[in-house]
Amino acid sequence: MVMAKIFRGPTMRIKLGMQNDLWFVSYPWGKTVVKNTAGVWSTIVSPQDSSLADYARVLRGGYDNPITDAEAAELTAAGYGEYIVEV
């Protein structure tokens, strides 16, 4: 049985603020992880759709991103191994 790999990237906590009725609630906000054309992986908090085409690979925050074994090895080497899940 072949196991697929999923990347569920890093998150940060967002609070709505005092102007909102649910000011006391916080929720996770996904960070996007990108690989530039030089092969370096990095994290983007607020990606702009217009600039995402400039990257070799984009793993959108807040989504389950299927990845290859090679990408899993690269992400682990870059420090993102804790976000890789086998399903």
**pLDDT over 90 for what percent of the chain?**
68
Q: Assess whether pLDDT exceeds 70 at residue 1.
A: no
Residue 25 sits at φ, ψ, to 5 deg, of -90, 140
Asked whether the CA dihedral 72, 77, 80, 86 is positive or negative, the reply is positive
Instruction: Give residue 18's pLDDT.
Output: 83
Residue 68, domain extent = 5-86
The one-letter code for the residue type at 18 is M
Q: Assess whether pLDDT exceeds 80 at residue 10.
A: yes
pLDDT tens across 34-61, in order?
A: 999 999 999 999 888 888 999 999 999 9
Cβ-contact 43, 23 below 8 angstroms:
no
Cβ-contact 84, 7 below 8 angstroms:
yes
State how many domains the chain has.
Answer: 1
The one-letter code for the residue type at 16 is L
